[in-house]
Structure formats: structure tokens, C-alpha cells
Amino acid sequence: MSESGAAVRNTRQRSAVSALLAEVEGFHSAQDLHAMLRDRGERVGLTTVYRTLQGLADAGEIDVMRPPGGEHLYRRCSEGHHHHLVCRACGRTVEVAGPTVESWADRVAAQHGFTDVSHTLEIFGTCPTCTP
């Protein structure tokens, strides 16, 4: 159980989740995605959706956001590393990239001797549309 048989199998359900994530825009909760799959006629268990999403998140193929609201939101986070600017009122999400922040975080962590560094950054505000 050490090598060779790494064994990550290619299943119909896994493909379905990946395919769905490739199509939808923005963030969606696990339950949300599960519902969409059902609508499409794909028969996938909720537990499997959760597990698949976790796996994808571990593999770094998708992005996880934990809004104050409660549920985790997942999104296909293909290329590059970026953060999100979220409207408090309407939930609209804008992607932002910040090389500055990346390097700053890495530098600060390195100064303290930390290795294997990652970070989470979310910006909240009220978007123009929602400003009276």
C-alpha cells in the first residue's frame, strides 16, 4: 500500500462533478451542485459529492470559500491563484489577482521560519449596484 497502486479511479460520478464544475459560473455549495446533478439526470449521492469536492480541493483543482453564512462554497479554480471580492448585499463575486499579496504572504511567513505556506484572502464590500 505504498506505491504503484496509487489508484485514483475514474468513475462516472467523479466525471459528472468535474464536468459540472467546468460549466457553472461562480461559487456553489455542495448541496447546490448535488441538486444540479440530479436535475441533469445524473444519479449521484450527496455523500459522494462531498467527498469528490474534498478530493478536488485537496488536489488543488478547485477553490473553497467559507463565507460567514455557513456553507462551504466550491468553484473550479483552474489556473493561477486569485482571490475574491464579494458583495455583502447581492453576493456578486469579482476575481482579483494580487501578486503583491502573494509575495508579501510568502515573505512574512518565511521571516518566521514557516514553510509550506498557503493563504486565504477574501475582501468584502458593497458593490456599486447595491450602494444607495
Query: Is beta strand 62-65 parallel, antiparallel or unpaired with respect to 28-29?
Result: unpaired
The three cell numbers locating residue 69? 453564512
The span from the CA of 44 to the CA of 13, in Å, is: 6
Smaller CB distance to DNA: residue 9 or 112?
A: 9
Burial of 23 (0-12, 13-18, 19+ CB in 10 A): exposed
Rule CB under 8 A: which of 28-87 touch a second copy? 66, 68, 85, 87
Measured distance CA(74)–CA(5) in Å, rounded: 29
Q: How far is the CB of 6 from DNA (least distance, A)?
A: 8
Cell of 127: 458593490
Provide, rounded to whole angstroms, the least separation between the CB of residue 114 and DNA.
Answer: 24
Task: List binders of DNA among 42-71 (CB under 7 A).
Answer: 43-48, 50-52, 54, 70-71
R_g over Cα of the chain: 17
Q: Which is nearer to a second copy, 38 or 107 (CB)?
A: 107
Please name the residue that has the C-alpha cell 458593497: 126
78 lies in the binding site for DNA (CB under 7 A): no
**CB of 83 within 8 A of CB of 96?**
yes
Nearest distance from C-beta of residue 132 to a second copy, angstroms? 10
Residues that bind DNA (CB under 7 A): 1, 5, 7-14, 29-31, 43-48, 50-52, 54, 70-72
Residues that bind a second copy (CB under 8 A): 66, 68, 85, 87-88, 94, 96, 98, 100-101, 104-105, 108-109, 112-128, 131
